[in-house]
């Protein structure tokens, strides 16, 4: 066995072997994989082998598409068959909301280049003759379906063996029956992977240990947010009707998914495999896989599956005539949002995760492809935020994971509404004024474990959402909140913001090396700064306030806490010249904004608030009421006169009461996240994580004024200079969509030249309540970004006329925020 390697991959399931294969393909031949048992011994051997391309996420969709394309070419490349049956994939709809979901998905599929068709019930019957179209009291009528002609199913073990062959031919080595028992740092900063067969010293280590992720992580003190859940499928005996149909020349039937009944059905040796996603499937192995489990399965629990079996029998009556041969019940790794964990581990260097895969056969190809890219090139080729392991924080502990993973599992097939907020494991993290805001009608949502008020239901209005892809019950109330903030004064509780303080003689130079803008040179000044990737994409967005000559307050998105904290910490100078502290939990944040915000605050502070005393883009510590050391920042994300008040958390109640008392005469009220979304769209404010990602540079995003190419070196500078010389491939655009009656754009819609080809994609969309316009923002080919350009945007399957607007269609001169 080798004693040294460039990288060691731990875990020989489909995901680990794909990672090894892709590292070898990138030219790293001195890489090894160790597997505690045999290859495929984890979940891979008992997977049903389905390869669904369907996924609502732009990132995951791209990974799945890559996999399907790779699996088709692997046999030729490796001379190893993978038993890929391209049967197609049929997803049924029995209600209009489901059709909306499919149509929304089609937008994403279009932008990724995944072929699909929306088909009629008649076409369903043609494709799937054994189906009952329904329409009776017991079986809902099929009203349409989504058809993917290109996917199907594969043999997971064959796939793993083909990847193994490909990896080996690139020089990689695989050691089975070799368990990592410990992982240590060497004095020189490499990894020492301990195994009973000897140690391997490596620069990089990848964890791809599936159900073992919990115990693997604990070897280096990481609580990896993945806990498996039981998942079952039923294997049926030969089905006489199916056999007759096939012997009569019928082609293999497409994999069938009746989403509204939460099951899939596929052919298997003239019989069927039926796989439900049922209620009550328990999380397992929260503290690790016990030694005795090995390659075992759990006992089948038919009782739990029965409602789905009965539904399937109603839809495919011939199922009643075949006996059950077997029930496979195995652990399937889950994460709280159902997407895998692909990317760097937090707090340790050169440790990579490819864990938490619940569709790991489908994702293996894409996950290995992008992780290898990240390890070898230093960054992935596509935006990976949706699967980045650091999208979860320390809040994702054992109890949270059990509750959320079970919830995610039973919701695999529920409709993925864009405004959906799932109830389990909540409330977890709350602002101190949570109860007060509840009494004011807050309808809560959750992000990064935090409760955030999406909107406030006025007295007498039901405090809940009716989720939809269209305008729904809260539309009018969100509009009222927008008008409150635009016309009078409102408060938003943005306590979840990520907040760091960087202090010390090296702080300015360090921050300047990380971001494209110049960090403020004068105490009291604020700058919006973007940390870029080496290729010039946007990694993070920070609002940096210089509080004193060697003290900076760094604010970023609430959901970026671990993502940004990890980055900042790992890039700190080693000479001790900067002290970084994460003060997210120590400070709350209220935004007070609107034309009367100055008058409200003036009642509570002796600090000057006029333009001369407190200009736009400045910030300082002031007293507000009884609250001391409040960092008041004259910036906000809604484009109104206003201040963000970042206060020591213990003043939260006092401050809210004081603001309400001072604002009563102006009709002050609370404003939620959905109103903020509407207002930031009206100002063309780009949102980190959706509009600003590593897929686009700040030049493409139209953020040229936040880039100082003349500044001494910063990460991404060379790539930006090159892009400026070459010309940008896309341009940011704000777009008005015409003729919208009830379905506004939401992001991820394809943009077309009128009657012509696709020319870009939206990244966000919302209704601008003050402008009374349906708005989208996104990226188009540069020549189409001019104001007045006519485009078309596809919303829920309908092409709508659209026009490119000037940036910041609401108050383009910023008169209100500078008032
Ligand atoms: C019943 C069922 C049906 C499924 N059907 C599908 C499907 O149709 N399509 C689909 O895409 N997905 C399906 N899945 C999910 C799929 O099986 C998994 O997502 C996939 O197998 C995960 O692969 P992996 O490589 O991440 O993990 P695994 O296959 O579990 O591999 C992890 C490996 O790591 C090894 N290991 C752990 N710790 C160590 C250590 N310390 N040292 C060395 N080795 C170690 C383990 O022995 C194991 O072999 C199904 C799952 C179940 C349970």
Give the CA distances from residue 498 to residues 119, 297, 587, 647, 715, in Å, rounded to whole numbers and listed in that order.
Answer: 45, 42, 10, 13, 22
With the most atoms of ligand 1 within 8 angstroms of its CB, the residue from 10, 13, 183 to mutate is: 13
pLDDT at 294: 85
Helix (H) / strand (E) containing 793: strand 790-795
pLDDT at 85: 95
pLDDT at 69: 96
Using the predicted structure, report yes or no on whether residue 675 has a pLDDT greater than 90. yes
pLDDT at 656: 98
Q: Cα of 476 to ligand 1 centre, how many Å? A: 47
Closest ligand 1 atom to residue 50 Cα is 8
For residues 94-109, give the mean pLDDT. 96
Q: Cα of 164 to ligand 1 centre, how many Å? A: 15
Q: Cα of 404 to ligand 1 centre, how many Å? A: 20
Which residues contact residue 465 at a Cβ distance below 8 angstroms, ignoring those fewer than 6 apart?
Answer: 419, 421, 443, 454, 472, 473, 474
CB-side neighbour CA atoms (13 Å) of 367:
33
Asked if 374 and 387 touch (Cβ cutoff 8 Å), the reply is: no
Q: Cα of 328 to ligand 1 centre, how many Å? A: 14
Q: How many other C-beta atoms are found inside a 10 Å radius of the C-beta of residue 784?
A: 18
Give the pLDDT confidence of 418-440 residue by residue, as tens digits. 999 999 999 999 999 999 999 99
Q: Which residue has the CA at smallest separation from atom 22 of ligand 1?
A: 360
The mean predicted confidence, pLDDT, of the chain is 97
Tell me the helix, strand and coil percentages in the chain, rounded to 5: 30, 25, 45
d(CA 585, CA 652): 12
Place of tokens 């006996």: 323
Which residues contact residue 509 at a Cβ distance below 8 angstroms, ignoring those fewer than 6 apart?
Answer: none
Read off the pTM: 0.97
Place of tokens 């009461």: 657
> Assign residue 266 a region: left if phi > 0, alpha if psi is -120 to 50, beta otherwise?
beta
Q: Which residue has the CA at smallest separation from atom 19 of ligand 1?
A: 360
d(CA 599, CA 609): 9
d(CA 342, CA 365): 12
Q: Cα of 678 to ligand 1 centre, how many Å? A: 42
Q: Which residues line ligand 1 (CB under 6 A)?
A: 10-16, 34-37, 41-44, 46-50, 179-180, 208-212, 216, 231, 233, 328, 330-333, 357-362
Helix 360-377 and helix 14-25: axis angle, to 10°? 40
Give the pLDDT confidence of 16-55 residue by residue, as tens digits. 999 999 999 999 999 999 999 999 999 999 999 999 999 9
d(CA 343, CA 125): 43
Q: Which residue has the CA at smallest separation from atom 33 of ligand 1?
A: 11
pLDDT at 264: 97
d(CA 204, CA 144): 49
Asked if 73 and 52 touch (Cβ cutoff 8 Å), the reply is: no
234 DSSP β-pair partners = 274, 327
What are the backbone angles phi and psi of residue 369, rounded to the nearest 5°? -60, -55
Q: Which residue has the CA at smallest separation from atom 30 of ligand 1?
A: 42
Strand-strand pairing, 198-207 and 4-10: parallel
For residue 791 the two structure tokens come to 């485009």
Closest ligand 1 atom to residue 181 Cα is 41
Using the predicted structure, report yes or no on whether residue 739 has a pLDDT greater than 90. yes
d(CA 40, CA 37): 9
> What is the gyration radius of the CA atoms in the chain, in angstroms?
27
């Amino acid at each position: 066995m080798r004693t040294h390697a460039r990288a060691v991959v731990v875990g020989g399931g489909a995901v680990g072997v794909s990672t090894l294969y892709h590292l070898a393909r990138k030219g790293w031949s001195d890489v090894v994989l160790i597997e505690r048992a045999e290859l495929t011994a984890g979940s891979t051997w008992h997977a049903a082998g389905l390869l669904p391309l369907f996924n609502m996420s732009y990132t995951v969709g791209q990974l799945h598409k890559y996999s399907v394309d790779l699996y088709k070419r692997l046999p030729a490349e490796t001379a190893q068959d993978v038993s890929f049956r391209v049967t197609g994939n049929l997803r049924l709809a029995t209600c209009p909301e489901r059709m909306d979901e499919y149509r929304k998905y089609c937008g994403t599929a279009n932008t990724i280049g995944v072929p699909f068709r929306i088909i009629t019930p008649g076409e369903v019957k043609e494709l799937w003759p054994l189906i009952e179209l329904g329409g009776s009291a017991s079986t809902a009528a099929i009203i349409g379906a989504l058809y993917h002609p290109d996917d199907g199913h594969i043999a997971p073990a064959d796939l793993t063996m083909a990847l193994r062959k490909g990896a080996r031919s690139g020089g990689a080595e695989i050691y089975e029956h070799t368990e990592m028992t410990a992982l240590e740092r060497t004095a020189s900063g490499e990894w020492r992977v301990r195994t009973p067969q000897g140690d391997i010293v490596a620069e990089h280590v990848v964890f791809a240990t599936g159900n073992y992720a919990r115990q693997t992580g604990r070897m280096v003190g990481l609580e990896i947010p993945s806990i498996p859940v039981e998942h079952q499928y039923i294997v049926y005996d030969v089905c006489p009707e199916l056999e007759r149909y096939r012997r009569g020349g019928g082609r293999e039937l497409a994999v069938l998914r009746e989403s509204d009944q939460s099951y899939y059905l596929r052919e298997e040796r003239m019989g069927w495999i039926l796989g439900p996603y049922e209620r009550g499937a328990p999380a397992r192995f929260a503290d690790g896989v016990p030694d005795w489990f090995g390659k075992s399965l759990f006992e089948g629990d038919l009782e739990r599956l029965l409602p789905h079996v009965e539904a399937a029998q109603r839809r495919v009556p011939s199922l009643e005539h075949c006996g059950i041969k077997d029930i496979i019940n195995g652990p399937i790794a889950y994460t709280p949002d159902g997407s895998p964990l692909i990317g760097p581990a937090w707090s340790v260097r050169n440790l990579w995760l490819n864990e938490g895969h619940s569709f790991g056969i489908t994702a293996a190809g894409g996950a290995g492809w992008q992780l290898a890219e990240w390890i070898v090139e230093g960054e992935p080729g596509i935006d990976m935020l949706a699967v980045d392991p650091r999208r979860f924080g320390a809040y994702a502990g054992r109890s949270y994971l059990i509750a959320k993973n079970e919830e995610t599992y039973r919701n695999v097939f529920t409709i993925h509404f864009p405004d959906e907020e799932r109830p389990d494991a909540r409330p977890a993290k709350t602002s101190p004024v949570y109860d007060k805001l509840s009494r004011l009608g807050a309808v809560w949502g959750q992000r990064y474990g935090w409760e955030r008020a999406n909107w406030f239901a006025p007295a007498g209005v039901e405090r809940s959402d009716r989720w939809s892809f269209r305008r729904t019950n809260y539309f009018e109330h969100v509009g009222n909140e927008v008008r409150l903030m635009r016309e009078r004064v409102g408060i938003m509780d943005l306590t979840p913001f990520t907040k760091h303080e960087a202090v010390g003689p090296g702080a300015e130079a360090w921050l300047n090396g990380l971001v494209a803008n110049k960090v403020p040179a004068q105490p009291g000044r604020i700058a919006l700064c973007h940390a870029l990737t080496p290729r010039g994409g946007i990694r993070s967005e920070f609002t940096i306030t210089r509080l004193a000559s060697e003290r900076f307050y760094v604010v970023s998105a609430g959901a970026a806490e671990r993502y940004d904290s990890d980055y900042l910490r790992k890039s700190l100078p080693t000479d001790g010249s900067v002290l970084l502290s994460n003060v997210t939990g120590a400070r709350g944040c209220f935004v007070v904004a609107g034309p009367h915000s100055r008058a409200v605050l003036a009642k509570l502070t002796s600090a000057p608030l006029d333009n001369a005393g407190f200009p736009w883009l400045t910030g300082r510590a002031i007293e507000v009421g009884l609250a001391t050391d409040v960092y008041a920042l004259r910036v906000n994300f809604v484009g109104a006169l206003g201040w963000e008040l970042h206060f020591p958390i213990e003043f939260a109640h006092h401050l809210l009461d004081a603001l309400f008392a001072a604002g009563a005469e102006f009709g002050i009220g609370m404003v939620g996240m959905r109103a903020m979304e509407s207002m930031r769209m009206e100002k063309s404010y780009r949102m980190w994580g959706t509009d600003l990602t590593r897929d686009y540079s700040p030049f493409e995003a139209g953020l040229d004024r936040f880039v100082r190419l003349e500044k001494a070196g910063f990460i991404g500078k060379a790539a930006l200079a090159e892009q400026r010389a070459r010309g940008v491939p896309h341009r940011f655009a704000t777009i008005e969509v015409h003729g919208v009656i009830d379905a506004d754009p939401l992001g991820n819609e394809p943009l077309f030249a009128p009657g012509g080809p696709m020319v870009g994609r939206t990244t966000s969309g919302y209704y601008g309540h003050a402008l009374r316009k349906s708005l989208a923002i996104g990226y188009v080919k540069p020549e189409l970004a001019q104001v007045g350009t006519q485009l078309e945007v596809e919303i829920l399957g309908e092409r709508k006329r659209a026009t490119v607007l000037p940036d910041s269609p609401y108050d383009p001169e910023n008169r209100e925020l500078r008032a």
